[in-house]
Each structure stands twice: as C-alpha cells, then as structure tokens.
Amino acid sequence: MSSIQLASALISGVVNGALYSLLGLAIVLIFRTTAVANFAQGDIGMLGAFVLIMFIVPLGLPLWGAWIVTVCLSGIFGGLIYLCLLKPRPIAGHLNLTIRTLGLSTLAYAVALYVWGEGEPYRVPSLFPRLTTELMGFSISYDQIGTVAVALVLSIILLAFFRFTQIGLAMRAVAINPDIARLQGVNVNRIVLVVWIVAAGIGAAVGLLIAPISFLETALMRPYLLKAFTAAIMGGLYSFPGVLLGGVILGITESLAAMWLSVQLREAFVFLVLLLVLLLRPAGIFGHIIRTRV
Amino acid sequence: MRIPSARFLLFGSWVLVAFAFALAPLVLGKYAQYLISMWLIFAIAAIGLNIPIGLANIYSFGHGAFMLVGAYVVAITMTHWSWSAFPAVMISLVVAAVAGGVVGLPSLRLTGFALAIVTFAFGHTLFHLVKAFEYTGGPQGMFMPTLDSSKWLGGTYYYYIVLVIFILAFLAAYSVSSSKTGRAMRTLGASEVVAQSLGIHLLRYKIIAFVLSAVYGAISGGLLALVTGYVAPDTFSSELSISVFAAVMIGGMGTIVGPVLGSFFVVLIPELTQSVRGLSLIIYGVLFTLVSTLYPTGIVGAFHALNEYLTKARRNKGFSLSEKDDSSKAKI
C-alpha cells in the first residue's frame, strides 16, 4: 500500500472524525445538562440543510449569510423543541424524555421524506471552492480543510464559552447537579433552553458541513448520529475533550478499516472498537465512574 | 344469583378473545389473516422486549438484531442445510439466547444510556454483516424454500401456528413477570443498589432479561421468515429496533397487554395508509411523539388514568366522605 493511500485515508478519517466530534459535542452538551440522549440531533441537521437550500438560498443572500441565518433558525427550532416537547411533564423521567426525542426524530424524518423525498438527492452548494491543494505532497480538497477548520473553530469557541462566560459556568453547574444549581440562584429552565438552542445550532452547522460532501437526502444524518453517539460514549458522555478525541479516533479507525478490510465490514469494526474501549475503560476515555447513593 | 368474580370475568374474556382469533379465518380473507399474523408476530417481539425494558429497566435498542438472528438462522438452516422448519426454529432460539447472553454481559459495567447505544450498535453491525456476506444472501436477502405445510388447513396452517405460539408466548411472559424472576427484575429496575442489598444477583438477572428477550425476538424473526417466505437485511435495519421499542412504549411498558396493543398500531398504520407515500410514517411519528409526551405510561396507562378518573367522579358524586381518601392517594 502506498503512503498516498494511507494519507488520504487518514485525511478523510480526520474530516469524518471532526464531524462526529462536533455532533457528539452537541449530544454531550444536552446529555450533561439534562441527562437526555438526544436522538433528534442528527435530523435537526438534516432539516437545517433542507431549510438552507429550499428557503434561504432562494432569498439571494451570500452563502455565508445564508449559513448563519440557517444556523440561527435551527437554534430557534431547538428552543421550540425544548419548550414544546421536553418542558411539559418533566417528572416523567430521563428515559421518557429520551424517547420523546426519538419520536421527534421519526417525525422530522417522516415530514422531510413527505415534503422533499420525491426529488432527492439534492446538491448543496459548498462554502469552500471545489479545488484541491497540495500539502506536503498530498492533495487535500478545500472542502476537507474547511470542514475541519469550521469544526475546530466551533469546538474551541464552545469550550471557551463553557470555560470563561458566566452562562457557561451556569451550564456546568446545571450539568453537575440541577437541584443544587437552582438553589444557588441559577435559572435552570433558562439554561436548559440555551443548551437546546446551542445544540440545535451545532446540529445545523454539522448538517450544512456534511450536505455538500455527500448529496443531501432525508437519511443524510443517520450514519453520523450513531457514530456521534459512539464517540460520545467513548469519550465518557460527560467530557467535552473526551468526545472530541473519541470522534477523531473513530473517524480514523473507520477509514483505515475501510481501506484494509472492506467498506461493508467497516461498521462491524467500529463496533469492535467501541466494545474494546468500553471493556478497557467502561466510563470512557476521560470519564470516571460515578457512584450513586440510595 | 352469584356474581362471578372480576378475576373470573377477566379470564373468561381472554378465552373469548382467543376463540375469536381462532375462528377468524372462517370469516376473514387472506389479507386480513396475513395482517393479523403480522401483528401477532410483531407482538411476540414486543412482549419479549418488554422484559428488559418494562421489568428490569434496561434499555435495549437492538431488539431487531435478535429478530435478525432468528430469521437468518432459520433461513440458512432451511435453504443451505435443508433442515425442516421445527429444528431450524429450535436452533435459532439457541443461537439467539447465546447472542442475548453476550449482549447482556457488559450490562453490569455500563450505565443505561451507554448500554442502549451498545445494543443499538450491535443491531446495526449485524445488519451490515448479513448484507456484506454472500452466504447470507447479501443485500438481496434469501428466499425460503416453498413449504408444503403452507397449504395445509386450506392455507391457514401458519395463521394457527402463529396464534398458538403467540398465546404460549403471552402466557410465558405473564408467568415470568409474576414469578420470582420477574419480581427480582422489577426490583433491580427500581434500584440496583436496593436489589443488590436484598441479595439479588444483578448480572444473572440482567443476563436472564436479555436472554429471554432474545429468545422472543428469535421466535418472532423465525416466524416472520416462515410466513413471508423470504428474509432481507432491510427488514432488520435499526428502524425495526426502534419500531419494536415504539410499540412497547406506545402500548405501555411494564404491562403485558401494552406491547400487544402498541404492535397493533405499529403494524396497522403503515398498512392502512399505503396509498399515500410517506403518510404512514408521519402518522406514526405524530402518534409516537404525542403518546410519549402526553402519556408516558402509554395506552394502557391512559386507560388506567381514565378509569381512575371515572371511579373518582362516581365516588365524589355518591358521598363526599371519600374525598379525604382520594387526596391522600394522590400524594402517593
């Protein structure tokens, strides 16, 4: 095998890994603050990509402006999801709330299939020029560089947001213990609302990054969602750096497996890696086992 | 005249329902029989999934994988090894039980959500594996050999087989849920720490829950292969796991009747709305979302709530003394 093949596998692994990481970050964000595993995270991104090409692009904005508008709209949608779907009857328990997002994901997929399913797949314009460049002798497309750069910048902004802003501090407090955070004067409902807005915004950004690489179809995010969950679990579910690392490891493993084994066996291999990580570190790479009391 | 007890009435009505199903082929056409078979097959899977979810509070998102194991083992043994149906189904149960045990093994080390994703990934992996290999028919799947038995009893043989197996599976699930095993699972579902301090072996009961659900899944998958006559990987994608899960949830988890009712919706809605493309999925999605948001305890829970409300209204009308009773109940 040539080193060029290896390099291109590594590059596409890192690109996919960056997408898994970013989507996983949104999942971890919601899971940490609300203990809900958001199964609708992927389909929010899919809806975002459809909104971009169906409604925003025809307005004639420059593409980066359309991007920002879509991400903002998706954020509003995320807020509405929280207010309509998750806020009512909160005593129902985390599992029930998780199932609600599963129902929402089914519904979002069904609606997208009904409305846009006839004409799929669609081509989505990319933010980046469709060219390749040479980097240390290997060719990389601007799409790939741009995807990794956007993912990296967004991750850094988010991590800085949690670390240095007051609302980020409140989010971490809610993540550790909502009841105690409430006693400390944190408006938990508002924080969770912000979390949903941010997570849905990230979801749309991921959808907009993925859609130009592969064609846009209603099942666009299905494979990415499972990988993002896997990345989140590998990272320990509570750790932001953990999920970022987990995503990249997963992306690289997957593209190496596709090269060495076969494309079909790739999925099985990813599962093996997940099991191996969980066998060695049941609480994830950066996680620690949380002991509960009765 | 002696008034028969509620228990006796309930039992009698179950027997009547069973008789109605047994006599149905005399009245109903082929298509309706096929729908009922599908419903009951799906319900067997859902009853099985209810054991880990409803009793032990373990989230298994990979139930489709066990159905896949059942269907593919039956298909492989019958087409490649030319076994007859009965030993094929039996061996599929053994394979599924082993698979269930293996999936159950990490259940002690992982938290609920991580385990849910592991089971989901397990189903996803099996789906890709059977798609990848020629031996399992690849993406097209495999056709079952034509069976003489499908013509027995005027073509209703498999309807009765499904019905009998469904009744047995229903009774078995009932006895499991009211047995020592079922109580142990409920306890560990409520609190693992309490269960452990009461001397309940956590790993053993978690694995039992997975093995039982796997066996139910395999029965359902094997029957699906026999009744439809072919197995294709796309039948057993992760959507199947989610729809069985939805059936349990819409019906009401933790009850025995719930999964059966839920399966009715999940099987029937796509059939009734076939003419409009994509509409069935929307109705299913709306129902799924609404029930999970408004009635976390499912259809059965909604009936219970309605029943309680009516009794309360009747009692309040009769005497106001009982009001104190009700308010104390509400707190609990």
Q: How many CB atoms lie within 10 A of CB B155?
A: 12
**pLDDT score at B54:** 87
B216/A contact by beta carbon, under 8 A = no
CA angle, corner A93, sides to A90 and A98, nearest 5? 95
Residue B7: inside a domain, yes or no?
no
The one-letter amino acid at A234: M
Contact A98, A36 (CB under 8 A): yes
Residue B177: inside a domain, yes or no?
yes
**pLDDT score at B322:** 45
Residue A4 has pLDDT above 70, yes or no: yes
A294 and B288 in contact by Cβ < 8 A? no
B198/A contact by beta carbon, under 8 A = no
A65/B contact by beta carbon, under 8 A = no
**pLDDT score at B332:** 37
Contact A24, A232 (CB under 8 A): yes
> What is the number of residues in chain A?
294
Count CA atoms closer than 13 A to B304's CA, side-chain side: 12
Residue A268 has pLDDT above 50, yes or no: yes
Q: How many CB atoms lie within 10 A of CB A213?
A: 16
**pLDDT score at B331:** 38
Residue B194: inside a domain, yes or no?
yes
- Between CA A9 and CA A11 the distance in angstroms is 5
Q: Residues A130-139: pLDDT tens digits?
A: 777 777 667 7
Closest alpha carbon within chain A to B59: A95
Contact B93, B219 (CB under 8 A): yes
**pLDDT score at B31:** 85
Q: Which of B132, B133, B314, B89 is nearest to B224 (CA)?
A: B89
The two structure tokens encoding residue B82: 């030319």
Give me the residues paired with residue A132 across strands: A141
Q: Where are the alpha helices (DSSP H) in A129-187?
A: 142-164, 166-176, 178-183
**pLDDT score at A98:** 84
Residue B315: inside a domain, yes or no?
no
Provide, as residue numbers in chain B, all residues whose Cβ is less than 8 Å from the Cβ of A237: 111, 113-114
In chain B, the number of structural domains is 1
Q: Which residue stretches of chain B have pLDDT < 50?
A: 320-332
Residue B201: inside a domain, yes or no?
yes
- Between CA A125 and CA B153 the distance in angstroms is 61
What lies within 8 Å, CB to CB, of A57 at 6+ separation is A63, A66, A125
State which residues form the domain around B137. Answer: 27-237
ipTM of the complex: 0.79
H, E, C per residue of chain B: CCCCCHHHHHHHHHHHHHHHHHHHHHHCCHHHHHHHHHHHHHHHHHHHHHHHHHHCCCCCCCHHHHHHHHHHHHHHHHHCCCCCHHHHHHHHHHHHHHHHHHHHHHHHCCCHHHHHHHHHHHHHHHHHHHHHCCCCCHHHCEECCCCHHHHHHHHCHHHHHHHHHHHHHHHHHHHHHHCHHHHHHHHHHHCHHHHHHCCCCHHHHHHHHHHHHHHHHHHHHHHHHHHHCEECHHHHCHHHHHHHHHHHHHHCCCCCHHHHHHHHHHHHHHHHCCCCCCHHHHHHHHHHHHHHHHCCCHHHHHHHHHHHHHHHHHHHHHCCCCHHHHHHHHHC
Distance to chain A for B298, nearest Cα, Å: 11
- CA dist A77 → A73, A80, A244 (Å): 6, 5, 25
Contact A169, A220 (CB under 8 A): no
- Between CA A27 and CA A199 the distance in angstroms is 7
A121/B contact by beta carbon, under 8 A = no
Contact B54, B254 (CB under 8 A): yes
**pLDDT score at B323:** 45
A114/B contact by beta carbon, under 8 A = yes
Q: Residues A64-77: pLDDT tens digits?
A: 888 899 999 999 99
Question: Mean pLDDT throughout A30-49?
Answer: 89
**pLDDT score at B319:** 52
Contact A233, B114 (CB under 8 A): yes
Q: Residues A204-221: pLDDT tens digits?
A: 999 999 888 888 888 888
* B52 prior amide bond cis, ω within 30: no
**pLDDT score at B4:** 66
Q: How many CB atoms lie within 10 A of CB A139?
A: 14
Helix (H) or strand (E) holding A290: none
Q: Which of B52, B81, B280, B41 is nearest to B188 (CA)?
A: B52
Closest alpha carbon within chain A to B285: A107
Provide, as residue numbers in chain A, all residues whose Cβ is less than 8 Å from the Cβ of B129: 264-265, 268
B249/A contact by beta carbon, under 8 A = yes
Q: How many CB atoms lie within 10 A of CB A137?
A: 8
> What is the number of residues in chain B?
332
